[in-house]
Amino acid sequence: MEQTATNEHYLKSAPITKSIIHLSIPMMIGMSVETVYNVINVFFIGLLHNTEMLTAVTLGLPIFTILMAFGNMFGAGGGTFITRLVAQKEIKKAKKVAGYTFYISIIVSILIAIIASFTLTSIVKIMGADTFSIISYTKKYSLAMFFGGFSIVLNFALEQIVRSEGASKESMYGMFVSTALSLVFDPIFILVLKFNVVGVALAMILANIGSSIYYLYYLQRKSEHLRGFMKHFSISLKDKIEIYKIGVSELLLTIFLIITTLLLNNFSIRYGDNVVAGFGIALRIVQVPEFLSMGLSLGIIPLIAYNFSNKNFKRLKEGIKLSALGVTLLSGVFVCLVYIFRDPVIHLFSNDPSVLNVGKQIMFAMLISALFNGFTALFTGVFQASGQGIPSTIMSVTQGVLYIPVIIILHNLFGFYGVIWSMTVTEIITCIMGVILYIIFNYKMKKLQFDNMSNN
């Protein structure tokens, strides 16, 4: 009871710097650990020195992304709604929303697995697999991922429900659980049992099951506001709309991220397997500074949601201002560090000279993209937390739709280098769009603040 009350205190009235530290530092640590968890899979496959397996796991990234997309749809939509309900002391409704989020996550993931099993060959070809061996490895990896996908959807949804109360440490502990289990299962399945790419998928599934169990234990036994949420499933249509107006923007964001990945795979594979493998390595390494910035942005979402709901606009603006400063420092410092140590880091994943050479070139473009990515995540998080469905959706659609003409135009103009820099150009333009939408949102906040003062 005491810990949960402390969590709400950080949302409601603690000094803003302390609140951001309390909410974001565990999230940043947790997401950094999750980056390690993503890198672990590629590292152990890399030890087999089989570029075709490494390519198959890289091509299969959209599967993890689409499962994460549905988890985030339910988690972001349900989690931000729960925070606003807790702020308004509507605890019973908050439990119902949490229960609905839990059960719908499982139902949807089962439906995804059934549909995917009937269309697997088409899915694998769309992802960019071309030669017989790469198609074979990608099929095995994909099938295992889809049938264990419920664990990924559920894990992402539950993590955000836990965080909705400001329980950032518990959110971090769940990420630790998944990483620790991955460290145990990856070498067993890949190196000892020789399950190869299927071993990567199985390790990921079991790691997500482990962290989901931890989150369920916390919510059922430790949470002050949401204990007993599993008894509930049904909610009103109005409440569903409240979840999905934010959740769908998160789903769109990730669907367009998948389109981005598929386009990237299809364009890059024209230049050889080594280029696809190089993208896979570079993207995972650059996730370190990106995830730190994202951890800060995601950590403050409950703070934004709580104070927007309570109309505490002064505290809300303070939180956004300090978070933007934090993103600036984190992005700058860690992008520099990753760039300085890029050679020894990239050697951990491959000994293939062609993969190493192209990986360095790709990483440089990805690091510049990371400088803007943190602000894009911050703007999107602010819009989601405050229930702003339209700006959230605009950000999601812009980031995805824009990439299609950008990569086509840059590829036609600059070939291989156009493919490398297409993501960076898209990220910069999206960040500019975020600035414009935030200016509009800030004007809306000022108007709400004035109306609130007039009413009082």
Q: Are the C-beta atoms of 160 and 148 separated by less than 8 Å?
A: no
In a domain, 205, yes or no: yes
**Mean pLDDT in residue range 299-305:** 87
Q: Is 371 helix (H, G, I), strand (E, B) or coil?
A: helix
In a domain, 25, yes or no: yes
Residue 261 pLDDT greater than 90, yes or no? no
* Percent residues over pLDDT 70 in the chain: 94
In a domain, 456, yes or no: no
**Mean pLDDT in residue range 88-111:** 93
**Mean pLDDT in residue range 385-407:** 84
- Most trustworthy range by pLDDT among 100-109, 159-168, 334-343: 100-109
Structural domains counted in the chain = 1
In a domain, 6, yes or no: no
In a domain, 278, yes or no: yes
The parent domain of residue 224 ranges over 12-451
In a domain, 438, yes or no: yes
In a domain, 151, yes or no: yes
Q: Are the C-beta atoms of 87 and 309 separated by less than 8 Å?
A: yes
**Mean pLDDT in residue range 392-420:** 87
Q: Are the C-beta atoms of 339 and 364 separated by less than 8 Å?
A: yes
Q: Are the C-beta atoms of 381 and 80 separated by less than 8 Å?
A: no
In a domain, 5, yes or no: no
Structure tokens at 158: 């539950």
Residue 1 pLDDT greater than 60, yes or no? no
